[in-house]
Structure 1
Amino acid sequence: MIHNGDDIGITEAMADIPETQTVLILHAAKQPYETAEGYQVPEIQDEHEVLVKTEHIGLNPIDWKAPDFNFAIPCLPYISGRELVGRVVRRRPSSHSRLRDGDRVLVISTDYRDLRKAAYQQYVVTADFNAARIPASVSPRAAATLGVAFVAAVLSLGVCMGVDFSGVPGAPPGPDLLTLLRGVAVDPESLPRDIRDECLAGIRDRERAVAGDWVVVWGGSSTSANIAVQLARLAGLRVVTVVDKLRHGLRLSNHSVLRPDLLVDSHDPSRAVDIIRANVGKNLRFALDTSGRESAGWLLRALRPEQDAAGAPPSPPETPRTTSPTLKHLIGLTGLPKEQAPDGVAYHTVPIKVFHEVPAVGEALVAWLEKLLESGLITPPELLGVEQGFDGINRGLDRMRRGEIRGGRMVVSLDPAGEGARAEVTRDASVPPALVDSPMAGGGGGGVEEPQQSESSVASSPEFTSQKLADTGSRRGSATLWQGGPAVSSVPRSVPDGQLASEGEVAQGSPRRGSLWQPKPEGIAVETSLS
């Protein structure tokens, strides 16, 4: 049983909660975040909520892409941040939560409209069903990289593909999300309309993925792909990973946790599709894209090779079926093909908001995450860099802008005891350093390569997906194949939908100095949307 609230100093920290705090504010698009003092500490509003003192913040690509490209910003000024690790310092006396004062927890903030829950502040409110306790065996900084990616991966596999995690051999019982969502425990009317169909009718029971089924994951170096591969292997699925082998091939092919059954280079997408067809063929029913609309289109071709094979002779008529044919399923974390889903293929968008909108789902996910961490059956992404203090957030985001953080994650520590955190930067000891850390990885100029929208941005704001980000960028790598084994009132606390910024509007800023946009005195002007 996880309980870690008996450390020295916890009582003093809980007894000294100030009325105001330091936060990191975004005042306008195309500007850096700025530190601000004197903002009120958010208040808990019901028995499910707890107050957490922030220790470590996980940085997500959307944290720099949102201000740079002016999307997923529901209001200004805005507090960002999707995941953090900290200590529970306050809860309602009448609360029956499994969380206790002093527990160290991973807070997963997919409810990005409620600024009380944003990570870029000293104190954060979270629902107890959106926070997972961290066992002593797991580094708090490493845990801060895990949250949104875990939610996206579990929902992709468990809802869109129908994987039942409740009876995985050798693993603690996990959720059977389809049974949960379609059973008496969840009122269908409680599901938001934009995700209701996906949750209730996205996949038929007889089409659910089971052990031995193949799944292709395109963009296998991303954090959500990392966790999805781990969970797919845990459930007995066979995994094809499509990735830039120049950067990540050796690392993944030797990785004790992430090594797929088939590793395919993404440098030549057409060739990648041919390799998938030749090795998996008609046995492929599931594909998960974490890169963007273009790569999702290539996955669509891989799912229906009989329709695209050049020069293939016509097939004889099939024997009449007594039941409808089994569909193939394409899940897009950052976008789906522009064309309508063809016959025999179903498109899926991951219903991220079910995590915070349906307590039973959120509770099932975080409870299972606690067990997986305690048993060592899930490994956090590699920690590639640690910065200190709120000022370190801008430094860390700059490194991400320059493309320096690939195949792992970046964390900022607010813990005064964390000055030696750089020594905690992690890698699998059996894996050579990723090519991204070598001089040749930066493309020479340190510019932003592959400015595609990350999986975490969709995980935290699916309705703000910017296809333009996902569809741009260049790919590079070899064309080889590896096969192997397994102020108090100035920041709104809750934002109504009507105040959301338009995705098509782009805020105008002055030219860059270094990598940060500088503010213009006249504020934000609207210009033509990005092409």
Structure 2
Amino acid sequence: MTWEHIVRRWLSACSLIKTSAEQIQDSKGNVNSEPYTLSLESCSESISDTETKESSEVTRRRRFQTALTVVGKNQYGLVHDFPVPEIQNSDEILIRNHATGLNPIDWKCVDYNFCLPKFPWVTGRECAGIVEEVGSSVTLFKRGDRVWTSTYYKDIRAGCFQEYLVVPAHTVCHVPHTMTLEEAACLGVCALTAAVTLWHWLKISMPSQLTVENGGAVLPSVQTWPPCQDEYVLVWGGRDLKERAYKEL
């Protein structure tokens, strides 16, 4: 804590004390003619102790967290003093986890012992939360942003079954204001699966035009698409809409 901070806190403390000599009385009710004084040294020591205590609590809260770890094949361990991961590269983001999505891979990798580089390990492939810190080269996100992410299993810092996680910025997206963090926590795996299937394996290009509808959801501007005879048909919508589209096709 800087001396400027100490003096500012000291002055704040003094403002709460009635320093007028007429208002300072001894134990017999007699007015003390000497003005009340407050030692800066003693005040700074007291403030320093308080600040140290508060800072140590914040540090402990940030340095340690609760995490669900995998300690062996089909073995879990709930650890309450697991280290909080740190940003190591300029393009990384530290996220305070709010909700985690559940997927079959979460239990399969533990039961069948795969995608676990070592023990103990933290799994979990998707979550949503609040940005706590960003690397020096991150420009699209800032502290306090609501985000969701799909994570990489080979980095223990990115496991979603912990209170804090660190992920590359390119794996993070903003949560629309119309969506809760609980809802956004389930986007990671399905979004990645769809993206890899469509654009990596099937080589389908992104729609040339997009529109913003339904309170912020980004949808293809179907009305502007020219008729085409492509091999693949992309259907956007819920289950009922897709089933109807399949039957019509």
Partner Cα distance (2:154, 2:168) in 1: 14
Q: Which amino acid aligns with 2:128?
A: V
Aligned to 1:21: 65
Please, which runs of 5 or more residues in structure 2 have no aligned partner?
1-56, 213-217, 221-226
The yes-or-no answer on 1:97 pairing with 2:139 is: yes
Aligned to 1:4: none
**Shift in Å at residue 70 of structure 1?**
2.0
- Structure 2 counterpart of 1:154: 195
Q: Is the 8 A contact 2:235 2:245 kept in 1?
A: no
Counterpart of 1:407 in structure 2 is: none
Secondary structure, counterpart of 2:165 in structure 1: strand
Q: CA deviation at 1:41?
A: 0.7
Q: Structure 1's 129 and 160: CA in aligned 2 closer, same or farther, altered over 3 A?
A: same
Q: Distance in 1 between matches of 2:235 and 2:197?
A: 14
Residue in structure 2 matched with residue 51 of structure 1 by the alignment: 94
Q: CA RMSD in A?
A: 2.8
Matched, 1:142 2:126: no
Give yes or no for contact 2:138–2:169 (8 Å, CA) kept in 1. Answer: no
Cα 1:168–1:159 change in 2 (3 A) is: farther
Q: SS where residue 121 of structure 2 aligns? A: coil
Equivalent position SS for 1:34: strand
* DSSP 3-state at the match of 1:138: coil
Match of 1:65 among 105, 108, 111: 108
What residue is the counterpart of 2:173 in the other structure? 132
Amino acid at match of 1:29: K
Note if 1:112 corresponds to 2:156: no
Give a deviation string over 1:114-157, Cα, whole Å, max 9, x none. Answer: 10011011110011111001011012111111112211211211
Q: For the residues of structure 2 that align with 1:72 and 1:154, how far apart are their CA atoms?
A: 21
TM superposition shift of 1:46: 1.8
1:259 aligns with 2:219: no
Cα offset for 1:484? 3.6
- The whole-number CA distance in structure 2 between the counterparts of 1:161 and 1:95 is 32
Pairwise CA distance, 1:24: 0.5
Q: Secondary structure at the match of 2:115?
A: coil
Aligned to 1:233: 235
**Contact between 1:54 and 1:119, CA under 8 Å: does it hold in 2?**
yes
Equivalent position amino acid for 1:117 in 2: A
Determine the C-alpha separation between the residues in 2 that align with 1:45 and 1:212. Answer: 48
Which residue pairs with 2:50 in the alignment? none
CA shift for structure 1 position 173: 9.3
8 A contact 2:92–2:138 mirrored in 1: no
SS at 1:62 equivalent: helix
Partner of 1:239: none
SS of 2:80's equivalent in the other structure is: strand
- Write the distance in 2 (CA, Å) between the matches of 1:260 and 1:35: 45
Is 2:119 the partner of 1:76?
Answer: yes
Q: Is the 8 A contact 2:115 2:154 kept in 1?
A: no
Q: For the pair shown, which has the larger CA radius of gyration, 1 or 2?
A: 2
* Code of the aligned partner of 1:131: V
Q: Distance in 1 between matches of 2:63 and 2:119?
A: 23
CA contact (8 A) 1:97 1:128 kept: no
* Equivalent residue letter for 2:186: T
Whole-angstrom distance in 2 between the partners of 1:77 and 1:155: 29
Report the counterpart of residue 9 of structure 2 in structure 1.
none
| 1:107–1:118 CA distance, 2 compared to 1 (3 A) | same
CA distance in 1, matches of 2:86, 2:210: 42
Q: How far 1:54 sits from its partner (Å)?
A: 0.5
- Is contact 2:211-2:219 (8 Å) kept? no
Q: Is the 2:106–2:124 contact (alpha carbons within 8 Å) kept by the matching residues of 1?
A: yes
Amino acid at match of 1:233: V
What TM-score do the two structures reach when normalised by structure 1?
0.31
Figure out how many residues of one structure are paired with residues of the other and give that number. Answer: 180
- Inter-CA distance 23–173: structure 2 relative to 1 (3 Å threshold): same
Distance of 1:169 and 1:95 partners within structure 2: 28
Percent identity between matched residues is: 29
Give runs of aligned pairs for residues 437-456 of structure 1, distance below 5 A.
none
Distance 1:151 1:30 in 2: 26
Tell me, in whole angstroms, the C-alpha distance in 2 between the residues paired with 1:60 and 1:49: 24
2:160 maps to amino acid: A
Distance 1:169 1:127 in 2: 26
Q: What do the CA deviations read for 1:213-232 (whole angstroms, capped 9, x no partner)?
A: 455xxxxxxxxxxxxx9xx2
Alpha-carbon distance in structure 1 between the residues aligned to 2:94 and 2:107 = 26
SS in 2 for 1:261: helix
SS of equivalent to 1:259: helix
**Alignment correspondent of 1:441:** none
1:30 matched to 2:14? The reply is no
Q: How does 1:181-330 map to 2 (within 5 A)?
A: 211-215=228-232, 232-234=234-236, 252=239, 255-256=240-241, 258-262=242-246
CA–CA distance in 1 between the matches of 2:164 and 2:138?
A: 21
Q: Please identify runs of 4+ aligned residues in structure 1 that moved more than 6 A.
A: none
Secondary structure of the corresponding residue to residue 101 of structure 2: strand
Q: What is residue 25 of structure 2 aligned with on the other side?
A: none
* More contact order relative to length (CA 8 Å, sep ≥ 6): 1
CA distance in 2, matches of 1:42, 1:211: 49
Confirm or deny: 8 A CA contact 2:66 2:82 kept in the other structure.
yes
